């Protein structure tokens, strides 16, 4: 059901047919000779915008020419637009790293000319990329900026992209009340424009939002929305809308619905699915056909019509190949192209996993064990590869943002240096101009001083974040983890490889997510620590055990703490304490509530810090633990904002004879203050 609801918001290939586009392209090329330089830049940019979704090379060629001419003849607005369309060409090619670099470069130029329609488009694309990265709040900020720019330029129709996209950002987070608020805004806006096409595309996700709510009365409001959207699709003779809404109605009556006891009717569900398939074939949409065939196959398996289910699944696989082999010919639906391109890339992979899961169910129902195992393996394989690829892309984009920020800092520093040189030259030439000139010079000097001071503060903040990320993602640990996965694969232990890879990817995801947050829920911190310890247990098999003790009075979903405080010390406990111990060791992690404070402890029974230094000195190793210095710097930065401070202490443990028996690291974290308050919207 969620798959089809998402499909219903992703955009069509174009509102113009291909021959119309070609006529427009030919007309623009005919205008190029004999025009002024600014007009040439504008025409080339318009050509790049048309080519971007359908012809990568032509789009890049036009955008590069526009940028070159704009640079030579001093047309910064044209350069910014060329950056936007260069980004679009990479975006539709799914080269998100280069797309993001182009968008960020264009953003710095076009923001000087706001409000601007193209700036609104750029904000939307940045929102789409952040949506894909899972950074919903940042995506929403960009979507709102896009809406403001469209409205400021008098384009109300384009501004409706804002509530449309924000609805789905919140829907994917299961923040249903917020999603409903924004999709209502979209539908009301479409009705103000008397645009039945937009209205239909808003009613479908509105019905889906109602359907996802826990209240039965709200769920029942979904059906009129689906039926109204279908009615408009029939009036407009839009086969794609007809297919989507018939499929959505089929799902409403299917056994898979959460309220099947109220709405369940497999016969009616099959009828809607068959109508949906007919419309999808007429629309020549292989992706929709694949999704519908999968739902029909599920009903066939339920009714033990195994031969028919096999035929449908074979046809589903054929449509999958058509879709994957002809990316530029695929026509996703809805009025907005950019949002749909991103999600179509994800949805087709999700649908492929579903197809193999259905093949597994069919083989099991027929008693074909070997075929069932193979299809289950393929579903896990595609699931793991999809997740791993998504994690890799997210990490790449985070690094791209960091690279862009560093480049921008260098540009600002060079600009400031150039300004300072200009100032010095001006003083040498016009010293005799008197007190007025001196006042101006001093003012400029002070401005530069404060700018440089702010730049140093920004650089220090970035440096601390990078040090924290390096400490959390120790290269030695990463390489050993990857080597363990490789070893499982070589030994054909696919189950352990899959489990280890899943834990490893989730740990990396948590670390990347947490590294950009000042506070995270305690529950997520515990999850990250547990993944890290489980992976280390595989590396050091039989060398240590661990336990995590949580006070029952602590609500781990509500309480917020700074992320990854203890991880560097847990690493030290394993690498420098327990590893040198003769037998196996133990790590105790405790969270206790005491007088408005959370006492967070990491205790090990290793050889102790002093003994570890002696052993490693004899082995010729230099112990360079950055845990204490990094954590101390972090706490100093955090405590500047807090009334109640976070405390840390490191205790060397000894036995009754004064011999070292391990190390304890203790944090005292205040709770209940404004700095840890969590709103209901954050918890949704």
Percent residues over pLDDT 70 in the chain: 75
Instruction: Give the pLDDT mean for 417-440.
Output: 58
CA dist 34 and 238 (Å) reads 43
Same domain, 430 and 298: no
| Total-model pTM | 0.56
Same domain, 547 and 658: yes
Specify the range with the lowest mean pLDDT, choosing from 121-130, 133-142, 170-179, 512-521: 512-521
> Which pLDDT does position 677 carry in this prediction?
39
Same domain, 409 and 519: no
Identify the band that residue 500 occupies on the pLDDT scale cut at 50, 70 and 90.
confident
Neighbouring residues of 422: CB distance < 8 A, sequence distance ≥ 6: none
Instruction: Give the pLDDT mean for 143-169.
Output: 93
Same domain, 192 and 316: yes
Q: Which residues of 173-184 are buried (b: 16+ CB within 10 A; e: fewer)?
A: eebbebbbebbe
Instruction: Give the pLDDT mean for 19-33.
Output: 81
Identify the band that residue 164 occupies on the pLDDT scale cut at 50, 70 and 90.
very high
Helical H segments across 303-368, by residue range: 306-325, 337-366
| 114 located within any domain | no
Instruction: Give the pLDDT mean for 482-499.
Output: 70
Identify the band that residue 196 occupies on the pLDDT scale cut at 50, 70 and 90.
very high
| 310 located within any domain | yes
What separation in angstroms does the CA of 136 have from each of 128, 167, 211, 213, 505?
Answer: 10, 11, 22, 20, 20
Helical H segments across 544-608, by residue range: 567-572
Same domain, 675 and 572: yes
Identify the band that residue 444 occupies on the pLDDT scale cut at 50, 70 and 90.
low
The rounded Cα 224 to chain-centroid distance in angstroms is: 33
Furthest CA-CA distance within the chain: 99
Instruction: Quick: pLDDT tens for 656-680.
Output: 888 888 999 999 998 754 344 333 3
12 contacts 339 by C-beta, under 8 angstroms: no
Is residue 588 pLDDT above 90, yes or no?
yes
Instruction: Give the pLDDT mean for 633-649.
Output: 81
| 1 located within any domain | no
> Which pLDDT does position 165 carry in this prediction?
92
CA dist 589 and 600 (Å) reads 7
CA dist 484 and 537 (Å) reads 12
Structural domains of the chain, count: 3
Same domain, 486 and 427: no
Same domain, 272 and 213: yes
Same domain, 436 and 482: no
| 373 located within any domain | no
Using alpha carbons, select from 539, 659, 682, 642 the residue that is nearest to residue 607.
659
Based on DSSP, count helices (H) and strands (E) in the chain, helices before strands: 29, 7
> Which pLDDT does position 674 carry in this prediction?
37
What separation in angstroms does the CA of 470 have from each of 289, 619, 636?
Answer: 46, 25, 19
Instruction: Quick: pLDDT tens for 44-71.
Output: 999 999 988 888 889 999 999 999 999 9
> Which pLDDT does position 143 carry in this prediction?
95
> Which pLDDT does position 7 carry in this prediction?
38
Instruction: Give the pLDDT mean for 574-602.
Output: 88
Using alpha carbons, select from 592, 219, 138 the residue that is nearest to residue 398.
138
- Range of 174-178, 257-261, 470-474, 484-488 with top mean pLDDT: 174-178
CATH of the domain at 285: 1.25.40.10
CA dist 485 and 498 (Å) reads 8
| 315 located within any domain | yes
CA dist 446 and 440 (Å) reads 10
Same domain, 555 and 613: yes
Is residue 456 pLDDT above 60, yes or no?
no
| 312 located within any domain | yes
Instruction: Give the pLDDT mean for 391-408.
Output: 65
> Which pLDDT does position 666 carry in this prediction?
92
Is residue 618 pLDDT above 60, yes or no?
yes
The mean of the pLDDT values for the chain is 80
Phi, then psi, of 53 in degrees rounded to 5: -80, -10
Phi, then psi, of 285 in degrees rounded to 5: -115, 100
> Which pLDDT does position 230 carry in this prediction?
95
> Which pLDDT does position 682 carry in this prediction?
35
Instruction: Judge residue 151's burial from the number of C-beta atoms within 10 Å of its C-beta, 0-12 exposed, 13-18 middle, 19 or more buried.
Output: middle
> Which pLDDT does position 67 carry in this prediction?
93
242 or 536, which is more confident?
242
Instruction: Judge residue 515's burial from the number of C-beta atoms within 10 Å of its C-beta, 0-12 exposed, 13-18 middle, 19 or more buried.
Output: middle
CATH of the domain at 671: 3.30.565.10
Instruction: Give the pLDDT mean for 328-350.
Output: 71
| 674 located within any domain | yes
566 contacts 603 by C-beta, under 8 angstroms: no
> Which pLDDT does position 416 carry in this prediction?
58
Structural domain span for residue 603? 475-683
Same domain, 510 and 646: yes
Tokens in use for 124?
A: 């939307």
Q: Is it true that the peptide bond before 115 is cis, omega within 30 degrees of 0?
A: yes
529 or 421, which is more confident?
529
CA dist 577 and 580 (Å) reads 6
H or E element, residue 654: strand 647-654
Helix axes of 475-490 and 522-539: crossing angle, nearest 10 degrees: 60
> Which pLDDT does position 565 carry in this prediction?
79
Same domain, 440 and 558: no
Instruction: Give the pLDDT mean for 336-354.
Output: 76
| 372 located within any domain | no
Instruction: Give the pLDDT mean for 178-183.
Output: 95
CA dist 314 and 31 (Å) reads 50
Same domain, 424 and 490: no
Radius of gyration of the chain (CA): 30
DSSP secondary structure code for residue 10 in this structure: S
Is residue 266 pLDDT above 90, yes or no?
no
């Amino acid at each position: 059901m969620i798959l089809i609801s998402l499909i219903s918001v992703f955009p069509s290939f174009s509102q113009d047919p291909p021959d119309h586009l070609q006529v427009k392209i030919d007309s623009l090329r005919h205008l190029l000779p004999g025009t002024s330089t600014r007009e040439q830049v504008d025409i080339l940019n318009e050509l790049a915008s048309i080519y971007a979704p359908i012809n990568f090379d032509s789009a890049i060629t036009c955008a590069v020419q526009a940028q070159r001419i704009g640079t030579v003849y001093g047309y910064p607005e044209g350069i910014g637009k060329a950056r936007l369309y260069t980004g679009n060409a990479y975006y539709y090619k799914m080269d998100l790293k280069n797309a993001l670099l182009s968008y960020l470069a264009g953003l710095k130029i076009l923001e000087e000319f706001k409000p601007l329609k193209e700036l609104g488009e750029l904000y939307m694309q940045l929102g789409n990329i952040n949506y894909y990265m899972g950074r919903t709040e940042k995506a929403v900020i960009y979507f709102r900026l896009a809406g403001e720019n469209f409205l400021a330029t008098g384009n109300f129709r384009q501004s409706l992209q804002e509530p449309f996209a924000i609805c789905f950002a919140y829907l994917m987070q299961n923040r249903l009340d917020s999603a409903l608020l924004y999709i209502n805004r979209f539908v009301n806006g479409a009705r103000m424009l008397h645009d039945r096409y937009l209205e239909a595309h808003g009613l479908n996700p509105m019905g889906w939002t109602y359907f996802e709510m826990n209240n039965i009365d709200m769920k029942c409001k979904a059906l009129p929305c689906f039926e109204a959207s279908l009615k408009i699709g029939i009036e407009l003779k839009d086969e794609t809308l007809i297919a989507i809404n018939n499929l959505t109605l089929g799902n409403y009556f299917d056994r898979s619905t959460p309220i099947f006891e109220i709405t369940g009717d497999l016969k009616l569900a099959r009828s809607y699915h068959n109508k949906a398939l007919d419309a999808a074939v007429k629309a020549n949409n292989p992706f929709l056909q694949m999704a519908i065939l999968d739902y029909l196959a599920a009903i066939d398996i339920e009714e033990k019509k195994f031969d028919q289910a096999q035929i449908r699944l074979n046809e589903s696989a054929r449509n999958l190949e058509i879709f994957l082999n002809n990316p530029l010919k695929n026509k996703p639906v809805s009025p907005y192209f950019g949002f749909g391109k991103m999600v179509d890339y994800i949805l087709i992979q999700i649908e492929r996993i579903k197809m193999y899961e259905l093949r597994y169910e069919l083989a099991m129902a027929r008693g074909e064990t070997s075929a069932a195992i193979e299809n289950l393996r393929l579903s896990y394989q595609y699931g793991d590869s999809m997740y791993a690829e998504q994690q890799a892309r997210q990490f790449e984009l985070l690094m791209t943002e960091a690279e862009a920020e560093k480049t921008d800092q260098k540009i600002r520093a060079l600009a400031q240096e150039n300004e300072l040189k200009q100032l010095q030259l001006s003083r040498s030439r016009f010293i005799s101009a008197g007190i007025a000139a001196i006042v101006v010079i001093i003012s400029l000097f002070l401005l530069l001083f404060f700018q440089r001071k702010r730049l140093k503060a920004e650089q220090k903040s970035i440096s601390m974040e990078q040090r924290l990320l390096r400490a959390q993602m120790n290269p030695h640990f990463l390489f050993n983890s990857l080597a363990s996965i490789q070893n499982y694969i070589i030994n054909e232990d696919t189950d352990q490889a899959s489990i280890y890879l899943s834990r490893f990817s989730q740990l990396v995801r948590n670390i990347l997510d947490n590294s950009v947050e000042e506070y995270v829920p305690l529950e997520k911190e515990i999850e990250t620590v547990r993944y890290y310890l489980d992976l280390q247990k595989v590396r050091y098999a039989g060398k240590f055990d661990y336990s995590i003790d949580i006070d029952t009075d602590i609500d781990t979903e509500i309480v917020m703490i700074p992320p990854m405080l203890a991880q560097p010390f847990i690493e030290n406990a394993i690498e420098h304490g327990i590893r040198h111990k003769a037998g196996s060791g133990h790590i105790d992690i405790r969270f206790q509530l005491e007088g408005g404070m959370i006492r967070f402890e990491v205790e090990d029974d290793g050889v102790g810090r002093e003994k570890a230094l002696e052993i490693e000195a004899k082995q010729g190793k230099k112990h360079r633990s950055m845990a204490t210095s990094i954590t101390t710097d972090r706490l100093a930065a955090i405590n500047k904002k807090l009334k109640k401070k976070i405390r840390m202490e490191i205790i060397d443990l000894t036995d009754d004879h004064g011999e070292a028996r391990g190390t304890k690291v203790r944090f005292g974290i205040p709770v209940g203050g404004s700095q840890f308050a969590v709103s209901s919207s954050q918890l949704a």
